[in-house]
Structure 1
Amino acid sequence: MEADVLVVGFGAAGACAALQAASQGLRVLAIDRFTGGGTTAISGGVVYAGGGTSVQRAAGVRDSVEAMEEYLRAEVGEAVSAETLHRFCAGSAEDIDWLAGHGVPFEPTPCPFKTSYPNDRYYLYHSGSELAHDPQAPPRGHRAHAPGTSGKALYAPLAAAARKAGVRLRGQTRATGLIVRDGVVRGVRCRTLESAPALVRRAHRVLAGYAAKPGVYAPPLRRRLGKLITALESRYGTEVELTAGHGVILASGTFNANRRMLGEHVERFRGSLPLGTIADDGSSVRLGEQAGAATKAMDRVSVWRFITPPSAFTKGTLIDSAGELLCGANRYGAAIGSELLRRTDGRGWLIVDEPLLREARGQIRAEAVWFQRMQFEFLVRRKGVSAPSRAALAARIGVAPEQLPESTHPMHAFDISLRPHLLYPWPMLTLGGLAVDEESGAVLDGQARPIPGLFAAGRAAAGICAHSYVSGLSIADCVFSGRRAARAVATTLAKN
């Protein structure tokens, strides 16, 4: 049966697009290289939302669309127009209710301290640099309610709701090309394992699972597993054509796992920890380019260098290798990483005195989860320089004494440089993608004209977070842009 809309990629953006389309009466077929979930399922499961969401209200937190928009304007820059940013903020509370209505669990317990990711006692937190912008800013990081990292708790209900709504998912099916007839995108050519032996399909699923985790933390392992997966697809896959009567929505993520594309577009990525799964191979961009699509912000990346928890470190001082102020220590980790990336050598120090370090040690057990405790111990035990005075510390790290904060106590400098290490990695996420019309999500060609029948959502498209990133903004944009594209397809169908 021909579908009205075909969704390529079934992570957060694809699931939201499919679910929205199905709710508007469209016949939806989704395909995924694996079995769905993508990077969303291995993420922290955080949605950046505000303006007075039901979760914020239940937590006794006051927020407004205007306050959210004012903060994000500084983060988003020129990634999208002011009108699009306003629509995103104005619809934020409704998006949270829409997610909750489809089973995504949220919990209104605000985190009382600044952290890169809250422990299992807290599910609403300051996930960006809001407190540096306004000390009274409300928390907007809505973490799905589940122990550990909460990505699966966010994705699984969406996938279940989509299936219940009639969305058909063909897993282990990889899009290889677009079907274009009379200038209109009518479907995709695919390579699928649906007819492969059961043992091959099982091996493909198992390898993909290990490539996602622990592969995300070990890029060499992920690459080796990726080669095995590709070999299975090449040997046992069969070619099929899938058509869609009214639209194809590309939603297969970033190009973090494509080293060739990284080399072409990203100046500095070697030594980083590219986030995502091996399905983040830039396939949506390559498919779009086959139809003449333009791209945007392909050189933009988000690099993360977290120093919290412990929250006491937000009172420290961040400097570069020349002793110049890096940025405020209460900024989000991506803002700190961005400032380090701007420095030619990528080097920097966190400066604290002895009382502040004692305060930090007293906080770490209550504030951190296991991997945060591990990073803290690595930072203070392996990456620290100590001295009895400001002058002595300055001499040891090669800066002028007056560039360091004053203190009558022993002082410490912790090396936060962008250097590869398994226990203190610097994660990286590409932010650019296909250029799209901001009202419909239609993919644009080189003359900024919509390509008939082709849409993009999530990190396959340049969207809200194409300039900079705060935790939860990517998934929030997946919801926003996925639903936007589905509405546009439904509108096209209604007009016809």
Structure 2
Amino acid sequence: MPHREWDAEADVVIVGFGGAGACAAIDACDRGADVLVLDRFQGGGATAISGGVVYAGGGTQHQRAAGFEDTTEAMLDYLRLETDGVVSDETLARFCEQSPDNLRWLERHGVPFEGSMAPRKTSYPTNEHYLYYSGNELAPPFSDAAVPAPRGHRAKGAGVSGKPLFGALRRAVARRPIAVRTQTKARRLVTDGERIVGVEVSEIGGRVPRGLHRVLAWAGRKLNIYYRPLGRMLDGPVANLERRHGVPRRYRARRGVVLAAGGFVFNRQLVAEHAPAYRRGSSLGTIADDGSGIALGESVGGRADRLHRVSAWRFFNPPLAMVDGVLVNNRGERICNEAYYGARIGDRVARQPDSEAYLIIDARTRAEALRQAPSQTLWFQRLQAEYVLRIGHVRATDLPTLARSRGIDPDGLAHTIEEYNAGAAAGHDRMGKDPAHVHPLSSGPFYAIDCSIRTQPGFPIPMITLGGLTVDETTGAVTREDGSPVPGLYAAGRNAVGVCSESYVSGLSIADCVFSGRRVAAALTEKRFQEEQA
């Protein structure tokens, strides 16, 4: 039944104040809509603690400044392979065509970028560089399908750049007449029997409970990044404050509700149910990434899809010398090209028996990696490199002993390394790895580094979920099983199936947040929509 009384109302009510929610709010406001944004915590979501990378191409000014020519067609050809039909060709083409403008849009709202090109392939560049190859562009079959171009645009800022990226979006929201209500948890969507007309929430009341909730949530977010067991200890107190001091409120949406509340990587039950191979990985985001936004959509008939797709990032480069190693499963079989982007490596690891994988390196590779580490890494990458190279490995004087010590089939490993070394001697790698990183593994001692999908001290495997609610790809409206829209309900970012819902490369999720957030803003403010609702 519809509510007759509302605590406030707006044209557009947005659930979630992360990257997608902020972009939707800014663009909807600039198009003339009255906007209200709700967030369980203080805003930022996973975007604020991300690397702050936006995947953009087709000839951005920063690509040109770095001396690279890129075209929409080349970007589209590359992403067709990565996305594998998760969205229509028309939508993917629109994403690529709008890419340069969406980057300029971010810059107009204060997000800083520049064209300082990283000198080597890396999972994340150092503070001197803000443009890089952030995916698999340089490796076959991708390099065969499209002319490679660097499309990873890292927001300029020391450390990890999610903070300055979202900080600029937050300030852009603050400069506008956009109402933002924090420490407000969406509980239920309100319908008038035909369409979604509002949101029921629980908003923490009282100065002391709000202050304590803010501090605990901040501490929990920090702890969850580095060691989830400690962060988990604060989940209960946070939820208890929400339960004991939550004040029920109702907010009306005259035109529509937008769900932009993130994925479900912190809902371990859902992860185990839909993506069991990833159940031992490390969650990246906040505890608000619990699937609640997706559940809201499902509660009114929306359809969820691609929930089995998770991106787990098994990065062992930098230092770049680590790419010289051979990645095998517990049968000793080689898994993939070690120069692939970490998310693609993680995807391949998830397909192995018990989701186990081990990087085999020799003494030469280890020595070179230790030499490179100081100049090629940021602090968190340096800690990881020092851990796996000095402590977090199994060491043996010969390969058979290494295999037995690590639980790898000795015969399988012997065959794989023999084949790999023969290819290296011939100057060829059957998996297409760059010849510069194909060297015989022959100088003992040998080392096995555990690259399995499981949380390890010093060597985590961060992951995000990629699936969400199905949407109309033109408007972002949430759709039912039969493909019809749920009137008045929209989704963006990781609440929605989007461009990165099959596979992931750095920057693709934030780029999709901008694309999908602006898409719903346009749909909810276009003249035809307003005339239909009159």
TM-score relative to the length of structure 1: 0.95
Note if contact 2:398-2:446 (Cα within 8 Å) is conserved in structure 1.
no
| Residue 97 of structure 1: aligned partner | 104
| Residue 493 of structure 1: aligned partner | 530
Note if contact 1:321-1:399 (Cα within 8 Å) is conserved in structure 2.
no
| Residue 317 of structure 1: aligned partner | 326
Q: How far is 1:126 from its partner? A: 1.3
| Residue 412 of structure 1: aligned partner | 446
Partner SS state of residue 354, structure 2: coil
Aligned ranges for residues 343-422 of structure 1 at < 5 Å?
343-386=352-395, 397=408, 398-400=410-412, 401-404=414-417, 405-406=420-421, 407=440, 408-410=442-444, 412-415=446-449, 416-422=451-457
Deviation string for 1:449-472 (max 9, x for gaps)? 001110000001111111111111
Deviation string for 1:419-470 (max 9, x for gaps)? 3212111222111111111111000012110011100000011111111111
Q: How far is 1:386 from its partner? A: 4.7
Which letter does structure 1 place at the counterpart of 2:59? G
Aligned ranges for residues 446-485 of structure 1 at < 5 Å?
446-485=481-520
Q: How far is 1:184 from its partner? A: 0.6
Residues in 1 aligned to 2:352 and 2:216: alpha-carbon distance in whole angstroms? 38
| Residue 260 of structure 1: aligned partner | 269
Deviation string for 1:2-37 (max 9, x for gaps)? 211111100000000001101100011111111211
Deviation string for 1:362-385 (max 9, x for gaps)? 211100112212211221223444
Residues in 2 aligned to 1:478 and 1:316: alpha-carbon distance in whole angstroms? 35
Residues in 2 aligned to 1:433 and 1:394: alpha-carbon distance in whole angstroms? 40
* Residue range with higher mean Cα deviation, 349-358 or 474-483: 349-358
* Residue range with higher mean Cα deviation, 376-385 or 388-397: 388-397
Note if contact 2:318-2:376 (Cα within 8 Å) is conserved in structure 1.
yes
TM-score relative to the length of structure 2: 0.89
Note if contact 1:6-1:247 (Cα within 8 Å) is conserved in structure 2.
yes
Residues in 2 aligned to 1:413 and 1:70: alpha-carbon distance in whole angstroms? 38
Residues in 2 aligned to 1:420 and 1:21: alpha-carbon distance in whole angstroms? 40
Equivalenced residue count is: 494
Q: How far is 1:349 from its partner? A: 2.4
Deviation string for 1:273-294 (max 9, x for gaps)? 1111011121111111121111
1:55 and 2:62 are equivalent in the alignment: yes
Residues in 2 aligned to 1:374 and 1:189: alpha-carbon distance in whole angstroms? 45
Residues in 2 aligned to 1:156 and 1:413: alpha-carbon distance in whole angstroms? 42
Note if contact 1:380-1:414 (Cα within 8 Å) is conserved in structure 2.
no
Note if contact 1:386-1:410 (Cα within 8 Å) is conserved in structure 2.
no
Work out which of the residue numbers 150, 154, 165 in structure 2 matches 1:143. Answer: 154
1:163 and 2:198 are equivalent in the alignment: no
* Residue range with higher mean Cα deviation, 216-225 or 368-377: 216-225
Note if contact 1:294-1:446 (Cα within 8 Å) is conserved in structure 2.
yes
Residues in 1 aligned to 2:531 and 2:121: alpha-carbon distance in whole angstroms? 48
Which letter does structure 2 place at the counterpart of 1:402? H
* Residue range with higher mean Cα deviation, 356-365 or 379-388: 379-388
| Residue 179 of structure 1: aligned partner | 190
Residues in 2 aligned to 1:63 and 1:455: alpha-carbon distance in whole angstroms? 33
Aligned ranges for residues 29-428 of structure 1 at < 5 Å?
29-132=36-139, 133-134=142-143, 137-193=148-204, 196-386=205-395, 397=408, 398-400=410-412, 401-404=414-417, 405-406=420-421, 407=440, 408-410=442-444, 412-415=446-449, 416-428=451-463
Partner SS state of residue 57, structure 1: helix
Partner SS state of residue 277, structure 2: coil
Residues in 2 aligned to 1:483 and 1:308: alpha-carbon distance in whole angstroms? 34
Partner SS state of residue 355, structure 2: coil
Note if contact 2:476-2:519 (Cα within 8 Å) is conserved in structure 1.
yes
| Residue 441 of structure 1: aligned partner | 476
Partner SS state of residue 399, structure 1: helix
Residues in 1 aligned to 2:261 and 2:454: alpha-carbon distance in whole angstroms? 29
Partner SS state of residue 73, structure 2: helix
Note if contact 1:43-1:149 (Cα within 8 Å) is conserved in structure 2.
yes
Note if contact 2:18-2:43 (Cα within 8 Å) is conserved in structure 1.
yes
Identify if the C-alpha distance between structure 1 residues 386 and 192 changes in structure 2 by more than 3 Å, giving closer, same or farther: closer
Residues in 2 aligned to 1:437 and 1:250: alpha-carbon distance in whole angstroms? 14
Residues in 1 aligned to 2:415 and 2:245: alpha-carbon distance in whole angstroms? 66
Residues in 2 aligned to 1:289 and 1:419: alpha-carbon distance in whole angstroms? 30
Identify if the C-alpha distance between structure 1 residues 131 and 411 changes in structure 2 by more than 3 Å, giving closer, same or farther: farther
Identify if the C-alpha distance between structure 1 residues 72 and 459 changes in structure 2 by more than 3 Å, giving closer, same or farther: same
Gaps of 5+ in 1: none
Gaps of 5+ in 2: 1-7, 422-439
* Residue range with higher mean Cα deviation, 333-342 or 311-320: 311-320
Q: How far is 1:494 from its partner? A: 4.8
Query: Over the residues paired in the alignment, what is the CA RMSD in angstroms?
Result: 1.8
Identify if the C-alpha distance between structure 1 residues 388 and 191 changes in structure 2 by more than 3 Å, giving closer, same or farther: closer
Which letter does structure 1 place at the counterpart of 2:372? Q
